[in-house]
Structure 1
């Protein structure tokens, strides 16, 4: 049991993830290894898709095969198409398929276990389709980006199509930004952001253009990603053949004063946006795939290069399909030309982007000026034919080869024995950073982290399901009682007197709602007063409500004989009275005195002369502190005038 005192006191929020083992593995059986995608599945496993072969592989978190399927869609062999993961863990496939002498678009929705839910063909007798990307919207629709070529006359258009969850067309819009490939994403405002060549186009959710800019000159275009303050595009800058990035704000204005360029040649990469606001891609340099995490200004956060060259020949990273604070998944191809000896590889890194087969590559980011100009296009509505399709799905054998792996043994480390603030919560988790992915706590919970609200002794037993490693740790949690400050027993303001709120606790510090830090606060107005008290590193919020108060007490006798006691008929107590009038009547109902200053009252005189002893009647009309009009009436006896 550790004795170093570390005090933790607030309820933390923790994402259910843990340190992971790392590996690099390859799969045989591809057609010719052009494009590969990798995704994390809902059960923390891995899905790998070969676009050219239409093969989908499912692995557990250790990279062991669970199933593999091939979809016998009659796609164009050399056309990569697209695949993305859906919000429910399934997959959406996009392909170009032959239709007589032309090509059509094929879209297939798969469940998480690879079963076809529906498949549809979208065709036009007068157009050749070149589909590029498909992605799911926040409300479950799908956005397709494509180009289409009219057969006669030979005219090309850009096309964006929105499908519903069942593959039915909601709308298709044609644009004229140039017959150059690109892609599109669904944006956080439920619109669409597309890139067609150097044209960056933002539309609303009906495909109406909101802005369009022609930016720079580049090739090998990829769909953009959205970051908190704009959008980032990547491609290969021309004419120097370097990987470049452009950033625009949400209105399409070019940022960075131009573009930023990596000292890498050739193809860029699809970018994966992380939940922390950064993004990740895999880029190839000197024959090594290098995974790089950038912040939204393209500053390098960390990078890790894979040092693994199979004897069969070429080697290239293609896709980062998942990245969080613990691990990153990326995949690529290794091949000889277009032979059937091609192999696919996929890799799982640690939180520093290391795989166990590592090397170091330097990366330099420079800036270049580019131009940005508005660009216009017509917008045409279009309707395609939709045909339901069925395709065979066959299980396929596969051979998985492990090339390197790393499971670093380390002791479990919950944290030092800790103090728990009374009424608060404490998060317990393993902080070792080791490859633990199975957990058993003394509470019976099996999650990577637990929240405790009571003092006591807690233990964690952790293991790695990809190996035989186990370890455990124990922590003692003690409670710190939080004293109750006196605050105040008087919760109302009266006669313009302040209320003093006493929050003093010996050894504590204070933060009131207005920023003051004294232990005692002087309240002069009605309202709720709050103080954040920190005591022995525990913090707790206290509040007290101070109200206004209405009180008007008048005597029933007064003696205006100038002896200094009860010389006037005036309020004995008055607060919460904003304004009013006091009227005095004799026994016959005649008004004999009136004043607008209720607090000064009546001195027992009428027209400057002393009034006779006897009973008089008063009427007070006033507004209380809420502005409500009220009446108080009664009698008073005058004696000894």
Structure 2
């Protein structure tokens, strides 16, 4: 019997091994497949806007954008990771207490499963109309859980400006060497484009600033790409007027820069021949580049000969094909049955030269794939998403195309993630489309352009005052056909006290509170996601600071550390870390959390200045009566310095601590009896007035 049992175990082990070797590798391909599609409806607590998305090396979706704060026009940066089936793994929002908004425009994957987010931070006046007070280009490096590693803000560039410059990162690429190429839109007294190369820690290697020789020139937000030969190509709208022309010349300019030095290789200007008139044109931003087989270049943009009046302003798309040096070869236009038509995003199909373009007409989403010469391979419409849809953040994989759609009504809490098969089929949400392609080569011509290229000192400064927190987002499938269904589970909440780090089951060390998702595989190869909600807490730290005074004010605001859910101010429970005081007195605040209790008190005086009264003798004989010569506690000013001199002007005691005094000792020996001189320097409680007093004291033994 024992022998038979051993034989059975050996046979069973062989069967399991055979399944692992021959069956499971096949099943592991089932998480995504080419004939699947889905539409997921997401609800969020506040209005949101997706801007950029990528597919990670771990077959996950990372989407960057912006979310409004609750009942506010102010924005935070937003980053969410989804499984390939659209299951939310985690969602973070980012803000700073220095500036009142954060905008994220784009995201790229970098080394060690980290990501770079780019956009701008600044301050706005939210009264109507909303006014931007400041705006600075901004970078954040985060780990695979969205926790910040570092953040940087662009310093001033040495250009002439009568006003505070505004800057924004509009594009970012990672080089073959692992450095970052950043495209920055910089507005000072005129428009500038800045292309910057940094190392992986955000330290500048070179920067090239591009400007027009014409004062009244408009430069749009540049887009960039590194070509196979290493060159950095940027593309952008440009419009300018000079004394020789009564109209504004408009079109797109392209530049090629040396990736090692930032020096100019070549520049080209595609002039729209129809702008040689007084009609108002609309030039949409470049949605991206393709380096075609043979070295040709392709650029896609939206356009309108006259501005459309509803939703999107453009009416058609242009596909510009140039040779490897930027000289125009061909232009193809794409038109809808009726306007508008706008290209919001695009992505290249690997190793083919084809490009998938995401579009909408402010009502319905469209996709189409174009071949290297501009022919339409396929096109689809998605009326099943609902009305009033705008789109953004397209990317493609071997299993199909993903994009985001949202309601264009000035802001929406309703977001959709759509996946189609490789030919744009989306099941019940999809329908045929009839976009037409036409030759439009004569609409643009190459013209000389004279831009100035300089290489100023550009510095990205460390910016540590950034915080992140979980953001609520919940999804539900609409139309779907899946190869796999994600399995999810939530582990018990992990509450930590006075512990600075925690090791997750996958051996990742974390230091920030939040939701963390660990991905496993089911026996069928589908994703199994386990959510770990980890909360770091520490014994409260509170300080109300130095004593305060009302003076001529009716009210002052007391403030302590933020970050706690509940504060008790003089017995009043509140969520605020501030408290209004109208009368003099002693005020208390305390906080309790699971790690402990902390309380602090502060004196608020009616007057801000107190006369200095000092004793004229003391008896340091150890009887605990008049043993210390000090500033009396009734003198509530702020002490700057308190000094005692002997009869020869030598310092025998000195302090800036109001609680300290002279004990009559000099270098560990009793000082002799006699007369000494003191000098007290203080400030009024509000720090506005200097107060001093000097006099004689007698040491009696």
**TM range, smaller chain:** 0.5 to 0.7
Where does residue 279 of structure 1 map in the other structure?
355
Where does residue 179 of structure 1 map in the other structure?
218
Where does residue 350 of structure 1 map in the other structure?
421
Aligned with residue 308 of structure 1, among 384, 389, 412: 384
SS where residue 345 of structure 2 aligns?
Answer: coil
Where does residue 64 of structure 1 map in the other structure?
87
Does structure 1 residue 363 correspond to structure 2 residue 395? Answer: no
Structure possessing the higher radius of gyration over alpha carbons: 1
Does structure 1 residue 160 correspond to structure 2 residue 236? Answer: no
Aligned with residue 401 of structure 2, among 309, 312, 328: 328
Q: Structure 1 353/309 Cα, relative in aligned 2: closer, same or farther at 3 Å? A: closer
* Alpha-carbon distance in 1 for matches of 2:447, 2:228: 24
Where does residue 620 of structure 1 map in the other structure?
none
* Alpha-carbon distance in 2 for matches of 1:75, 1:282: 33
Aligned with residue 302 of structure 2, among 222, 236, 244: 236
Where does residue 115 of structure 1 map in the other structure?
147
* Alpha-carbon distance in 2 for matches of 1:115, 1:39: 18
* Alpha-carbon distance in 2 for matches of 1:69, 1:159: 29
* 1:79 Cα deviation from its structure 2 partner: 5.5
Does structure 1 residue 389 correspond to structure 2 residue 463? Answer: yes
Q: Identify which range, 175-184 or 352-361, moves more after superposition.
A: 175-184
SS where residue 270 of structure 1 aligns?
Answer: strand
Does structure 1 residue 149 correspond to structure 2 residue 220? Answer: no
Where does residue 225 of structure 1 map in the other structure?
290
Q: Which runs of 5 or more residues in structure 2 are unaligned?
A: 1-27, 68-75, 125-132, 238-251, 273-281, 307-313, 487-521, 529-701
Aligned with residue 131 of structure 1, among 154, 169, 177: 169
* 1:103 Cα deviation from its structure 2 partner: 2.3
Contact 1:23 1:406 in 2 (8 A): yes
What does the per-residue CA deviation read over 1:474-515, in whole Å, with 9 as the maximum and x for residues that have no partner?
Answer: xxxxxxxxxxxxxxxxxxxxxxxxxxxxxxxxxxxxxxxxxx
* Alpha-carbon distance in 1 for matches of 2:206, 2:123: 22
How do residues 1-40 of structure 1 correspond to structure 2 at under 5 angstroms? 18-19=33-34, 21-29=36-44, 31-40=46-55
Contact 1:36 1:331 in 2 (8 A): no
* Alpha-carbon distance in 2 for matches of 1:220, 1:157: 18
* 1:465 Cα deviation from its structure 2 partner: 3.6
* 1:259 Cα deviation from its structure 2 partner: 4.0
Contact 2:366 2:380 in 1 (8 A): yes
* Alpha-carbon distance in 2 for matches of 1:68, 1:286: 27
Q: Structure 1 239/96 Cα, relative in aligned 2: closer, same or farther at 3 Å? A: same
Q: Structure 1 275/286 Cα, relative in aligned 2: closer, same or farther at 3 Å? A: same
* Alpha-carbon distance in 1 for matches of 2:102, 2:300: 23
What does the per-residue CA deviation read over 1:369-422, in whole Å, with 9 as the maximum and x for residues that have no partner?
Answer: 111123222211112343212311111221212221124xxxxxxxxxxxxxxx
Contact 2:88 2:474 in 1 (8 A): no
Does structure 1 residue 91 correspond to structure 2 residue 123? Answer: no
What's the Cα RMSD here? 3.0
What does the per-residue CA deviation read over 1:169-228, in whole Å, with 9 as the maximum and x for residues that have no partner?
Answer: 111111124432132222222221111211111111122111111114361212433222
Contact 1:243 1:265 in 2 (8 A): no
What does the per-residue CA deviation read over 1:580-630, in whole Å, with 9 as the maximum and x for residues that have no partner?
Answer: xxxxxxxxxxxxxxxxxxxxxxxxxxxxxxxxxxxxxxxxxxxxxxxxxxx
Contact 1:247 1:255 in 2 (8 A): yes
Contact 1:246 1:259 in 2 (8 A): yes
SS where residue 124 of structure 1 aligns?
Answer: coil
* Alpha-carbon distance in 1 for matches of 2:329, 2:485: 42
Q: Structure 1 394/85 Cα, relative in aligned 2: closer, same or farther at 3 Å? A: same
* 1:246 Cα deviation from its structure 2 partner: 0.7
Where does residue 630 of structure 1 map in the other structure?
none
Contact 1:21 1:350 in 2 (8 A): yes
* 1:272 Cα deviation from its structure 2 partner: 0.7
* 1:365 Cα deviation from its structure 2 partner: 0.8
Contact 1:37 1:48 in 2 (8 A): yes
SS where residue 265 of structure 1 aligns?
Answer: coil
What does the per-residue CA deviation read over 1:532-555, in whole Å, with 9 as the maximum and x for residues that have no partner?
Answer: xxxxxxxxxxxxxxxxxxxxxxxx
Does structure 1 residue 41 correspond to structure 2 residue 116? Answer: no
SS where residue 19 of structure 1 aligns?
Answer: coil
What is the TM-score with the length of structure 1 in the denominator?
0.57
Q: Structure 1 259/363 Cα, relative in aligned 2: closer, same or farther at 3 Å? A: closer
Does structure 1 residue 207 correspond to structure 2 residue 262? Answer: yes
* 1:335 Cα deviation from its structure 2 partner: 4.3
More helix by share: 2
Where does residue 189 of structure 1 map in the other structure?
229
* Alpha-carbon distance in 2 for matches of 1:188, 1:54: 33
* 1:32 Cα deviation from its structure 2 partner: 3.8
SS where residue 384 of structure 2 aligns?
Answer: coil
Q: Structure 1 45/96 Cα, relative in aligned 2: closer, same or farther at 3 Å? A: closer
Contact 1:269 1:282 in 2 (8 A): yes
Contact 1:335 1:343 in 2 (8 A): no
* Alpha-carbon distance in 1 for matches of 2:485, 2:59: 10
* 1:364 Cα deviation from its structure 2 partner: 0.6
Q: Which runs of 5 or more residues in structure 1 are unaligned?
A: 1-14, 408-434, 439-460, 468-641
What is the TM-score with the length of structure 2 in the denominator?
0.52
Contact 2:332 2:374 in 1 (8 A): no
Aligned with residue 451 of structure 2, among 377, 393, 398: 377
SS where residue 308 of structure 1 aligns?
Answer: helix
SS where residue 326 of structure 2 aligns?
Answer: coil
